[in-house]
A and B are shown apart, each in its own frame.
Chain A
Amino acid sequence: MIAVIGIGSPFGFDRLGWDVVDRLRARTLGAPAQWSGVRLEHNDRLGAPLLAQMRGARLVVLVDALQTGAEPGALSRLELDAVQPLPTGSSSHELGVAETLALGRALGELPPRVLVMGLEAGAQARRAPTQVEVARLGDAVERELAEARLSR
């Protein structure tokens, strides 16, 4: 089982993860067989709910909007080891993606492979992602899934 989990909210560039998952869902209609064994899900709560959502998958692709200071629209593909929590912790009552992954690792509860894929929001994170951006990230996720199927 592969899980693609779009992380976000309905607002601004943060909806990128959900939009990509929606695009992939639409793509399954054309070729259902190719998508068997792939879960496509939204997430709006990190921490424990995300750990539960990842359980049971051999590969999880987390799709999220990023703000790293890179050029707006830049595509990132991060293996698990490249995702580290900030030393201060990024939030209080909620854990961020990096903290959730670190917690999962400490508990020995992460799937065998986790990838984080996203696009740089840039400073103007209030704008919604464009169709072109959603398609570009969606296509990149599809290529990862194709590769993962071949390597099974």
Chain B
Amino acid sequence: MVEQKVVRIQVPVLARVEGEGALDLRVRDGTLEGLALRIFEPPRLFEKFLEGREYREVPDIVARICGICPVAYQMSAVHAIEAAFDVQPGEWVRALRRVLYCGEWIESHALHIHLLAAPDFLGAENVIELAARYPDEVRRGLRLQGLGNRIIRLLGGRSVHPVGVCAGGFFRAPTPSEAAKVLAELRAAVPDAEALVAWTASLELPPSDQSFISVALRHPDEYPMNEGHLVTSDGLEIPVERYGDQFREVQVPHSTALHSLHFPSGTGAEQIGQPYLVGPLARLNLNWDRLPPAVQDGVTRSGLQFPSRNMFHSIVARAVEIHYALLEAVRILEQYRCPESPAVAVTPRAGIGYGCTEAPRGTLWHRYELDDKGDVIGATIVPPTSQNQARIEEDLRLALEAYGLGRPDEELRRFSETVIRNYDPCISCATHFLRLRVHRT
């Protein structure tokens, strides 16, 4: 009989990802036999809450799904509702929605880079320890985060769970002087963003060279936020309505969050689904040519190249997107004029609408079936983190094998956390424990 040595560690850490999760590793003779990122966050049932609600309530309900990326939920929702009602909100709304999204990217990415990810790469336990050693960098991060929040407030009325968004546009247009004030702050912050790109590119990141499928929106002439087709790094390009033909959410026993997989030849039962990546690195890998030269030059000067197969370049991708979002918001606000009305009229009609936008953490897909009064009959929401979960497990498998499974459990735990945090998973806003169980036989 083979003697089984089971090592069980329970460590209340992973305070820097959202949600309740645990990681189980099963190691036999130094090789990885099993790996499961268990999510035991209770289901949140938002899709059911939406049933029977009027379309007007939807943006404010879905904003509550996340305190860090409420704008993303609002954007996917209003685009889906407008598609169902065949409403065209026009250029002013389109441009200002981009500004609002820029605010959320800046706020969310600045938070992740400085408070959550950077401590991993600089040997600090948390941002407080990091701040003692890198005060200027942390201050810069807090400044950028604050600026992102002020952009959201400009259009959303407040920075957390903003209330300014409606189907058809916005409830209120900022005054020219309000817009000018934020514009001045944005211009002043550009050097911070440039320095941030160089700083993240100079971090000593763990080596990683993995083959993975990137998925993101792609637009004919801009870096994607609210519009575009879904594209993959293996050559697929589909309108967002056809997401369900190629991607499917599946239940796994160890997680209350669904896993979303890519089925390149359709979603028939006989097909095997593949993990895929959404988020800043996937977006950048697929849309490098959509960045303005000023942003591309910053990356090139730092010596990095995209597309990248190093998953840890996600932190650089976030910095690059902060730089882009600042310049994009400046470009739009420089031409700011108050419109006659901040929203177009919306007339409900029965139908199905799809919305897919680029949340800070990746592609966020919504589908709504609405009746002729505009009440929700059914809603489906596929958030970025459920799409990334299978990829996180795949990454952990590859990364841990490359790292060496013979290392002490504590080192394995720290490295696993670094790999997971790199995706900025947002399981929900609850308590947060990564319990690592290593079963060695």
Chain A residues near B138 (CB-CB < 8 A): 103, 106-107
Q: Could you tell me the distance in whole angstroms from the C-beta of B209 to the nearest C-beta in chain A?
A: 29
B416 beta carbon closer than 8 Å to chain A: no
* Segment among B47-55, B95-103, B123-131 that sits at the interface with chain A: B123-131
Chain A residues near B145 (CB-CB < 8 A): 48
Most A CB contacts (10 A, CB to CB) among B126, B128, B142 go to: B128
| A-side interface mostly | loop
A151 beta carbon closer than 8 Å to chain B: no
Most B CB contacts (10 A, CB to CB) among A44, A89, A90 go to: A89
Q: Which residue of A lies closest to B129 (CB)?
A: A106
Q: How many residues of B contact A (CB 8 A)?
A: 30
Q: How far is the CA of A51 from the CA of B131 in the complex (A)?
A: 14
Known: A88-B12, A103-B131. A49 touches B149 (CB 8 A): yes
Q: Which residue of A lies closest to B432 (CB)?
A: A92
Q: Could you tell me the distance in whole angstroms from the C-beta of A75 to the nearest C-beta in chain B?
A: 27
Q: How far is the CA of A49 from the CA of B68 in the complex (A)?
A: 14
B160 beta carbon closer than 8 Å to chain A: yes
Interface string of A84-112 (1 = CB under 8 A from B): 01001111111100010011001110000
Q: Could you tell me the distance in whole angstroms from the C-beta of A106 to the nearest C-beta in chain B?
A: 4
Known: A48-B145, A106-B135, A108-B135. A85 touches B13 (CB 8 A): no
B17 beta carbon closer than 8 Å to chain A: yes
Interface string of B115-135 (1 = CB under 8 A from A): 110000000001111011001
Known: A44-B160, A49-B146, A103-B131. A94 touches B67 (CB 8 A): yes
A45 beta carbon closer than 8 Å to chain B: yes
B128 touches A91 (CB 8 A): no
Known: A48-B146, A49-B149, A93-B67. A106 touches B132 (CB 8 A): yes
Chain A residues near B139 (CB-CB < 8 A): 107
A148 beta carbon closer than 8 Å to chain B: no
B432 touches A103 (CB 8 A): no
A89 touches B15 (CB 8 A): yes
B12 touches A107 (CB 8 A): no
A70 beta carbon closer than 8 Å to chain B: no
Q: How far is the CA of A91 from the CA of B146 in the complex (A)?
A: 19
Chain A residues near B426 (CB-CB < 8 A): 93
Chain B residues near A88 (CB-CB < 8 A): 12-13, 15
26 examples of A-B residue contacts, CB within 8 angstroms: A45-B160, A47-B115, A47-B142, A48-B146, A49-B146, A49-B149, A49-B159, A52-B146, A88-B12, A89-B16, A89-B126, A92-B17, A92-B19, A92-B429, A93-B68, A93-B111, A93-B116, A93-B426, A94-B67, A99-B128, A106-B131, A106-B132, A106-B135, A106-B138, A107-B131, A107-B139
Interface set of A (CB-CB < 8 Å, partner B): 44-45, 47-49, 51-52, 85, 88-95, 99, 102-103, 106-108
